[in-house]
Amino acid sequence: MVKAVREAGRYCLSFTAAGLKPELAAVMARIHAETGNWKETRALVLERNALQTRSLASAKRLETELRQRLQLLNDEQLKLLAEGSSDDRLAMAWLAVLKRIQLTVELTRDLLLDKLEGSDALLRRSDMTGFYEASEQLHPELQALSVSSQKKVRSTVLSMLREAGLLEGKANRSGQLGTVQRPSLSPQALALLDNDPDLRAGFLLKPKQRRARR
């Protein structure tokens, strides 16, 4: 059974403007390394059409959502996003999502980590439905969404879980969505994870154990 959702602050639900987008996030991180500030980064991203969108309006929506995530990363995390391997880019893009989108923190912490550490790592559509129904009790903004917007939120989250490496396998008609798994993390990425239990849970890792004082 899904744990009771603990936070009651309003969810950020604008994230459907962009999925995980690790390659585009890396492009923005590189431009930010050039400029040193986010205002100039935004201007250059739009001027160069660095996100390769068909319209300026789409570019602005995508840039805004990605920038709001990346602004939450520290300098070392941004550098790894800009210069690291494809796995590193995935990890840092997912870390930015976790820092920005509380819904993804609660989902990984309260559902996926429980399933992985239990006897059943198979994620079912009914598990996700139960999670969202529990979340709606403290987050009426979820329930207030139109049916189409609810579907968009859920499909975007599911897609990001797959791309980030937390869910393996395809969905099938019997309601199975895939198998929960820990994503691949390089030593560099692992070293840059904040020692925050919620963020570590976002990678399906337990909090670091503090060494007992002698």
What's the first-to-final CA gap in the chain, in angstroms?
40
Which residues, in sequence order, are CB contacts of 2 under 8 Å at separation 6+?
A: 110, 111, 114, 127, 130, 131, 134
Is the pLDDT score of 5 beyond 80? no
DSSP 125-183: HHHHHHHHHHHHHH-HHHHTS-HHHHHHHHHHHHHHHHHTTSEES---TTSEEEEE-PP
Report helix, strand or coil for 124.
Answer: strand
Instruction: Write down the residue that tokens 């079912």 correspond to.
Output: 124
From CA 118, how far away is CA 141, in angstroms rounded? 31
Is the pLDDT score of 115 beyond 70? yes
Which pTM does this prediction carry? 0.91
Nearest Cα to Cα of residue 91 among 163, 16, 195: 163
Q: Which of 37-41, 76-80, 115-119 has the lowest mean pLDDT?
A: 115-119
Average pLDDT, the chain: 91
Which structure tokens are listed for 76?
């070392």
Whole-number pLDDT of residue 83: 97
Residue 145: what residue type? Answer: L
Query: Per-residue pLDDT tens for 58-113?
Result: 999 999 999 999 999 999 999 999 999 999 999 999 999 999 999 999 999 999 99
Whole-number pLDDT of residue 119: 82
